[in-house]
Amino acid sequence: MKPSKTSKQWMREHVNDPFVQLAQKEGYRSRAAYKLLEIDAKDHLLKPGMVVVDLGATPGGWSQVAAHKVGRGGKVIGLDLLPLDHLAGVDFIQGDFRDDAVLKQLEDLLQGRPVGLVISDMAPNISGIVSADQARAMHLAELAMEFALEHLTPEGSFLVKVFQGAGFEEYLKQMRSRFSKVVSRKPKASRDRSSEVYLLATGPH
């Protein structure tokens, strides 16, 4: 199958992307690592000894950063529908985080330790139908927020990728009603033309 004009353009951008090149040079699994690194530098989310759950972890850029920051005394648990190549310091569960069996695996791995941070860089497979893609992206964000509310400590934080568009304002309003503090972040590694933004919520109630 011949690559489309759009996919060729994406590949050209991807290869020339300075964050892609930097990730390859510095050994990160993906350019997304720099988004988390920048947000963490500003908001000091990741602390030694902390327990972190990474929803939609594959290919592992965020889990990699988190594992390095929390150190041996901490714990990083990644979940994804897709497989993840082994990452030092990361416990990985392949499956749907909405499934009871997967949640049971997660709870077994936690061993009663409280979760200090839930991170989600999930995005749906893009169909090209903007309204459908946006609806699926917001649905994933809603599921991630419900998960965070169920598992976080009272002073814990939730970082989630969302896309500005239909449903965004309602989601933000709901988030503000469920957390003590909500801020938005647009890291440099997030492409300018992308409608993605990261919402950081602290203090679930």
Sequence spans of domains, the chain: 31-204
Is 121 marked within a binding site? yes
Is 10 marked within a binding site? no
Count of residues for the chain? 205
Q: What is the pLDDT of residues 77-94, one digit of tens each?
A: 999 999 999 999 999 999
Residue 11 predicted with pLDDT over 60: no
Report CA 181 to chain centroid distance, whole Å: 19
Q: Where in the sequence numbering do the catalytic residues fall?
A: 161
The answer to whether 87 touches 61, Cβ cutoff 8 Å, is no
Q: Which of 85, 86, 88, 80 is nearest to 53 (CA)?
A: 80
Residue 31 pLDDT level (bands cut at 50, 70, 90) = confident
Residue 59 predicted with pLDDT over 60: yes
Q: What is the pLDDT of residues 160-193, one digit of tens each?
A: 999 999 999 999 999 999 999 999 999 888 776 7
Report pLDDT for 193.
72
pTM of the model: 0.87
Is 60 marked within a binding site? yes
Is 62 marked within a binding site? yes
Q: How far apart are CA 21 and CA 50, in angstroms?
A: 30
Q: How far apart are CA 101 and CA 113, in angstroms?
A: 19
Q: What are phi and psi of 137, to 5 degrees?
A: -65, -45
Task: Tell me which CATH homologous superfamily contains domain 31-204.
Answer: Vaccinia Virus protein VP39 (3.40.50.150)
Report pLDDT for 140.
93
- Find the helix or strand (DSSP H, E) in which 158 lies: strand 152-163
Q: Which residues pair with 196 in a beta bridge?
A: 163
Report pLDDT for 152.
96
Q: How, if at all, do strands 90-94 and 75-80 pair? A: parallel
The answer to whether 116 touches 50, Cβ cutoff 8 Å, is yes
Q: Which of 97, 93, 48, 86 is nearest to 64 (CA)?
A: 86
Cα maximum dimension of the chain? 52
The answer to whether 136 touches 129, Cβ cutoff 8 Å, is no
